[in-house]
Amino acid sequence: MDQTDATPELLLDATDVAKAYGAVLALRSASLAVRPGEVHALMGANGAGKSTLVKILTGGVRPDHGTILVKGKPFAPRSPTDARRGGIVSVYQEPSLIPDLDVRSNLRLTRTSPESVRHWLAELGLPDLDLTSVVRDLPLAALRIIDLARALAMEPAILMLDEMTAALPANLTERVLEVIGRVKGSAQSVIFISHRMIEIGAVCDRATVLREGSTVGVVEVTERSEDRIVALMLGDIVRRGTVVRSEASAVAARAADATPRLSARNLTVGRELSDVSFDLYPGEVLGVVALEGQGQDELFDVLSGSERPTGGELVVDGQPRSFRHPADAIRAGLVYVPADRAEALLMQRSVRENIALPFTTRFGAWGPIDLRGERKKVEGAISTLQIDTRAAGEVRRLSGGNQQKVTIARWVAGGVRTMLCFDPTRGIDIGTKQQIYQLLRDLAAAGAAVLLYTSELKEVQLACDRAIVIFGGRIVAEIAVADADEATLLRAAYDLRPEELMPEELASAAVAAETADASMVGQP
């Protein structure tokens, strides 16, 4: 393998890049070497540090240390304009066009030639776009194509595409991949970030894999490299094999004629979620696994009553329901624990008020609050969840883990029947995580139904009875907990062809190769 020799012929050479946000180490030691004329994939599971590295390369944040060379010259951009001057132009996940201006004015802002953009628009499959249309009125797919055409027209040394194809219809994706492929052999390069393995395989030459903030390997992309990449993204967890398994008693105990607590029937939300059906039974924890932005946000918004589905129906306890407001969902027994605690809590108010809020604010209950009854329920919930109440006067002074416990306690206090948890352990310490898993198991044992979306694959085996996997807005797999090891889940999440388990020898080979790669990459 020759990919690590740091010759000046590299277009981009980033080594040992690190970035911490407060106490959280987002990037430990990332490196990325891009040759001229190649399409280079940047891969990594959620939280591996991809987006931080992208931000550093586009001037959004500055690294704590590490060296970045573009065309052999030091590169330390302080803004996207700076990055562009240095040779890197990025197309972001969300379009960076000004919604209230027309396309032509947007091009004037970046001093891009409209003729050149028109040329690229034609290449990308939008030859007739009216440049006087206001951006706000154009469909999302068109905006992404315009964004890309504008970036191509700037003729950067390195074009960075961050989840560029995520919202594109298939025919436009094809055109985009075809245009990207033309870079091969030229003086330009492309850094390509995508959750879709098929696209990586179709267009990329090499892939750099990040895990937990470090570069763990660089892989030549071939037909067989998919497994290598997945193994690298997973790391040594593949070897660890046996994980603590939750007692999958609920599934066994489920009677054949039991009524599901909650049934989704062909739920559809715009283009984000299509035809999603599943049953959630009392006494079980059902995991939802998906890469970022596959429609899980919309699913939980619909179930919690924040958004109305465009198609399909919801059946709760055998009754068809439609929610116009979260209050309707709560009345039907569906309560929601969001990942962002700031969305759920009144940060300036006390623990007690926060816990009591859901069951004292019902319209019918207006008037004097039964303070004694409230206190009893609240104290019950606090002790069930073991909330540290030393700073109970203001929720924002609690630790993240304790705040998350409060968001759960507010539903537990009133008696919970169905709990919808969206990544409830994001960003909290390991001890509290354990307590939350235990709590979810206890709730299920007491007859509640729990739907748990998690971005940490190992949580499925720690807390769930089975898991459904969503990709591109559809359920692509249902996996029983016994089979739900991380490799299987990750493969399913990338919508790769089903395999029972990754063969043991392949896994260990991957890990061995990865260790070798990591040490080579680490060499200056």
What tokens were used for 119?
């040329």
CA–chain centroid gap for 268, Å, is 20
Q: Residue 461 Cβ, how far from another protein at the closest point, in Å?
A: 37
Q: Residue 134 Cβ, how far from another protein at the closest point, in Å?
A: 7
Cβ proximity to another protein: between 101 and 157 the closer is 101
Cβ proximity to another protein: between 152 and 421 the closer is 152
Q: Which of 168, 163, 121 is nearest to 146 (CA)?
A: 121
CB 492 within 8 Å of CB 484: no
Dist CA 316 CA 376 (whole Å): 29
Residues in binding contact with another protein, number by CB under 8 A: 32
Task: Determine the interface stretch with another protein among 88-96, 334-342, 379-387, 454-462 (rule: CB under 8 A).
Answer: 88-96
Tell me the CA distances in angstroms from 65 to 22, 59, 193, one per residue in order. 15, 14, 23
106 part of the interface to another protein, by CB under 8 A: yes
Dist CA 51 CA 41 (whole Å): 13
Task: Determine the interface stretch with another protein among 164-172, 207-215, 368-376, 460-468 (rule: CB under 8 A).
Answer: 164-172
100 part of the interface to another protein, by CB under 8 A: yes
Cβ proximity to another protein: between 40 and 84 the closer is 84
CB atoms within 10 A of CB 512: 10
Given 2, 130, 223, 257, the residue binding another protein (CB under 8 A): 130
Cβ proximity to another protein: between 171 and 319 the closer is 171
What tokens were used for 462?
């720690």
Given 4, 46, 67, 110, the residue binding another protein (CB under 8 A): 110
115 part of the interface to another protein, by CB under 8 A: no
Task: Determine the interface stretch with another protein among 24-32, 130-138, 368-376, 498-506 (rule: CB under 8 A).
Answer: 130-138
Using CB under 8 A, which residues numbered 50 to 79 contact another protein? 79
164 part of the interface to another protein, by CB under 8 A: no
Burial annotation 158-190 (CB, 10 A radius, 16+ → b, else e): bbbbbbbbbbbeeebbebbbebbeebeeeebbb
Given 78, 108, 245, 308, the residue binding another protein (CB under 8 A): 108
Using only C-alpha atoms, the chain has a radius of gyration, in whole angstroms, of 25
Cβ proximity to another protein: between 36 and 80 the closer is 80
Given 8, 72, 169, 415, the residue binding another protein (CB under 8 A): 169
Q: Which of 455, 26, 458, 42 is nearest to 237 (CA)?
A: 458
Q: Residue 299 Cβ, how far from another protein at the closest point, in Å?
A: 21
93 part of the interface to another protein, by CB under 8 A: no
**3 state DSSP class of 338:** coil
Q: What are the strands of the beta sheet with 319-321, ordered from one edge?
A: 273-280, 262-269, 311-316, 319-321
Cβ proximity to another protein: between 129 and 493 the closer is 129
What tokens were used for 502?
């990754």
Q: Residue 170 Cβ, how far from another protein at the closest point, in Å?
A: 7
Q: Which of 79, 78, 56 is nearest to 67 (CA)?
A: 56
Tell me the CA distances in angstroms from 464 to 247, 283, 298, 408, 445, one per residue in order. 9, 11, 21, 17, 12
Q: Residue 114 Cβ, how far from another protein at the closest point, in Å?
A: 12
Q: Residue 470 Cβ, how far from another protein at the closest point, in Å?
A: 19
Given 170, 255, 256, 430, the residue binding another protein (CB under 8 A): 170
Which residues contact another protein (rule: CB under 8 A)?
Answer: 79-81, 84, 92, 95-101, 105-106, 108-110, 126, 128-130, 132-134, 138-139, 141-142, 169-172
